[in-house]
Chains A and B, each alone.
Chain A
Amino acid sequence: MSTPTAASAASHGAPSLRGSRQPLSDRVFRWALFISLTVGVVTLAVLIAYVTIKGWPRLNSTLWTNMPSIRRPERAGAQSAITGTLWVIGFTALFALPTGILAALHLEEFAKPNSRFQRLVEVNIQNLAAVPSIVYGILGLAFFARALALGQSVITASLTLSLLILPIVIISTREALRAVPRNIRDGSLALGATEWQTAYRQTLPAAIPGIATGVILALSRAIGEAAPLLLLGAVTFITFNPTGPLSGYTTLPIQIFNWTKDSREEFQILASATIVLLLVLLLAMNLAAILIRNRTQKRW
């Protein structure tokens, strides 16, 4: 593009726009950032590649059609762990979601902001989210399994995991509610709606995509938990699918834990195959969370 004006501007000694070379510190910093990023991504990739290669021989339908077996590792599967996981997570969702969402709704929409009580509750929820999961296992063992005599059942595991993810559900729901613009609430109240009508007909529906994202991430945390369930006594060898909330159970992380303890190579392979299954499940849930978030972004 050499129009007459551009040429004449250049001949009049236009300032050079080429700039000086990028300083060394800039380049070093950019490399440091890139290397830090690589550590995380490479670790995940190596992990997935390792378990996939190792578990490959057993990554077939017998993994979910067959039950675990001690004597015949070549025919053992993880069906009871898969159904157990579904039962436990189903009940966990049933307990934790309504409680967590309603608690968040109260804190965000109805509680007096900055009152002492509110601040106390807030600090406690933050702290609960940081409590190690094994501590919830001890609580579940003492309270649900022993005191309420629920024993080593699906319901004990679900109640314990509900307590574990409750702070996460509350915190993410509050964030989703806070992201709903103030003027939506104002618009509703100005029409003569009550605060409760405003909360459940405007704020809550508008926040559902954000809540769904947080809830899925919380549930995927619960799916991956092994420590509290080990304490609750889920270690037992289970070759049946749960039949109800009071039935015995095992879950995928527990099954993986049991198999990796066994020195036989066949069980190591089986454990790797089950890890792939668990990872696929968790990544699928995270993907769902991301899709929900992307689809509903920029609504206001």
Chain B
Amino acid sequence: MPDEPVALQLTHDLTTGRAQSVADEVNNVVFNLADLRVSYGSYQAIRQVSLTIAKNEITAFIGPSGCGKSTLLRSFNRMNDLIPGARVEGLLAYHGIDIYGPDVDPIEVRRRIGMVFQKPNVFPKSIYDNVAYGPRVNHIKANMDDLVEECLTKAALWDEVKDDLKKSAYALSGGQQQRLVIARCIAVRPEVILMDEPCASLDPIATAKIEDLMRQLALEYTIIIVTHNMQQAARVSDRTAFFTAELDEDGIRHGRLVEYGPTRQIFSAPQDKRTEDYISGRFG
């Protein structure tokens, strides 16, 4: 395990050397990944991922089912720790600190790196208590009423629910629930929001609202989104990483990063044949 100075050194190398070749320029690096591998037991779900994620940008992970993009996303806030047998190797540095380092508390990681899930997972509580839950468990000292209003406003939900704050969150529609989950997530003041197919269970109108919201949130937060919807990646993201599932020489299926770059470039002039095929709908 590298101690802190080593990790910082690695960051430096990646930003000056390798990152330059991956993308035109990545300023304000939030995450550095170097040869990251995630495995479940003896099965390696995703291999050899090296990329950098920039502050206040939206980075999209796209690729066919089973390419390991959700697995990779769950590594960013150590949610994979909760799956028995899951193991993360390689470097995943957050502001130069390896988040799998020996002194790192996963609870602290998850406070700074929030997550929005595929299915809106509101708590069986009131709308107010859903938003207030994170600050309460983290002992954040704040005027809770103001904080709830602020977060619901940022999540573009305040006007719809301000008179029903005591109502059960289950009374909301799917799209509203997902915005409530986003409000709940930003209530603990994270720097990064991970989104795992946040619109997969929503209709097009609710999806459009979430996409608008993401662009708003990107002014303040760094967002990584996993999506199956290529148009969505093209519409909202600044940078896109394309993953695919491949067979290795032993015939074992695993996920791999194929191409990473500015979204415009990935969708208009992909460098790799596999990316081009996927984008143009020839496979996946």
Q: Do B121 and A187 have beta carbons less than 8 Å apart?
A: yes
Contact code string B59-103 (vs A, CB < 8 Å = 1, else 0) = 000000000000000000101001010000000000000000000
Q: Does B138 lie within 8 Å of A192, measured CB to CB?
A: yes
A112-B121 Cα distance, complex, nearest whole Å: 25
The CA of A246 and the CA of B133, in the complex, are separated in Å by: 45
Q: A113-B84, A181-B121 are in contact. Are A190 and B114 (CB under 8 A)?
A: yes
Q: A191-B134, A192-B137 given as contacts; is B184 within 8 A of A300 (CB)?
A: no
B-binding segment of A31-39, A61-69, A193-201, A211-219: A193-201
Q: Which residues of chain A come closer than 8 Å to B123, judged between CB atoms? A: 184, 187-188, 202, 206
Q: Which of A167-222 contact B (CB under 8 A)?
A: 181, 183-184, 186-194, 197, 201-202, 205-206
Q: How far in angstroms is the closest Cβ of chain B from A263?
A: 58
Interchain CA distance A133-B278 in the complex, whole Å: 65
**A299 at interface, CB cutoff 8 A:** yes
Say if the beta carbon of B225 comes within 8 Å of chain A: no
Asked whether A192 lies within 8 Å of B107 as measured between CB atoms, the reply is yes
Nearest chain A CB to B144 CB, angstrom units: 15
User: Chain B: interface residue count, which band?
Assistant: 20 to 34
Interface mask (B102-125 → A, CB under 8 Å = 1, otherwise 0): 000001101100110101011110
Docked-complex contact A191 and B114, CB < 8 angstroms: yes
List the A side residues contacting B138 at CB < 8 Å: 191-193
Pair A206/B124 contact, Cβ less than 8 Å: yes
Check if B267 is an interface residue, CB within 8 A of chain A.
Answer: no
Which residues of chain B (26-56) have a CB below 8 Å from chain A?
none
Known interface pairs A192-B108, A192-B111. Does A201 touch B137 (Cβ–Cβ under 8 Å)?
A: yes
Neighbour of A191 across the interface among B84, B124, B188, CB < 8 A: B188
The answer to whether B108 and A299 touch across the interface, beta carbons within 8 angstroms, is: no
Distance in Å: Cβ of B142 to nearest Cβ of chain A: 15
When the two chains form their complex, are residues B170 and A186 in contact, meaning their CB atoms are under 8 A apart?
Answer: no
Residues of chain A with a CB closer than 8 A to B117's CB: 183, 186-187, 190
Q: Which residues of B contact A206 (CB under 8 A)?
A: 123-124
A191–B110 touching, CB < 8 Å: yes
Chain B residues near A197: list those with CB within 8 A: 137
Contact string, A96-123, partner B, CB cutoff 8 A, digits 1/0? 0000000000000000111000000000
Residues of B within 8 A of A114 (CB): 84
Interface assignment of B241: CB less than 8 Å from any CB of chain A? no
Q: Chain A residues near B114 (CB, 8 Å)?
A: 190-191
Residue from A181, A186, A191 in contact with B137 in the complex, judged by beta carbons closer than 8 Å: A191
Closest to A190 in B: B115
Interface centre among B108, B110, B185 (most CB of A within 10 A): B110
Contact partner, A189, options B82, B184, B188, Cβ 8 Å: B82
4 smallest A-B Cβ distances: which pairs?
Answer: A192-B111, A183-B121, A191-B134, A190-B115
Q: Other than the known A184-B124, A187-B123, A202-B123, what 12 A-B pairs have Cβ atoms closer than 8 Å?
A: A183-B121, A186-B117, A188-B123, A188-B133, A189-B79, A191-B111, A191-B134, A191-B137, A191-B138, A192-B107, A193-B134, A194-B137
**Pairs A–B under 8 Å by Cβ, sample size 15:** A183-B117, A186-B79, A186-B82, A186-B115, A187-B121, A187-B123, A187-B184, A189-B110, A190-B117, A191-B185, A192-B134, A192-B138, A201-B133, A202-B123, A205-B124
